[in-house]
Structure 1
Amino acid sequence: MTISQESESTEDISQDVIFPPGDLYSDEPPWETELHMRQIILLLECLKWLWRDRNDFYATGNLTIYRITI
């Protein structure tokens, strides 16, 4: 596939994609809290300390990102 073919296929895909509105309201509480984030950070720091003499591991965490509109 050439660069021009790739850009053409990207243009075709973007026309078919329908994005939801960005102002969706939800009264549900967030799934994760700051406590969850701190727990992930603590776990990752503990793993890095435990395996400080090794170079054959990778550890990461994931949280949902929320946008607050005031």
Structure 2
Amino acid sequence: MVSPHFEDLPNSKTSEALAESLGVGKATVERDGQLAIALNTLSELDPSFKSDVLNGSITLTKKEVMDLAL
């Protein structure tokens, strides 16, 4: 299986700036970035997967999506 590239996440300063502008914590931005990478990785295997998860056709927790991508 293709593994996500978590090292591709923005650096700490970028995460902090984005978190501040969105009114959330830095950890939230970083976790959501990891989720986005996992969804992109899984959509390489099944192009409809990402949209199916995002529109609710497939119901998975964030943890389940992350586990599937590993």
Q: Which has the higher helix share?
A: 2
Larger RCO of the pair (alpha carbons < 8 Å, separation 6+): 2
Larger radius of gyration: 1
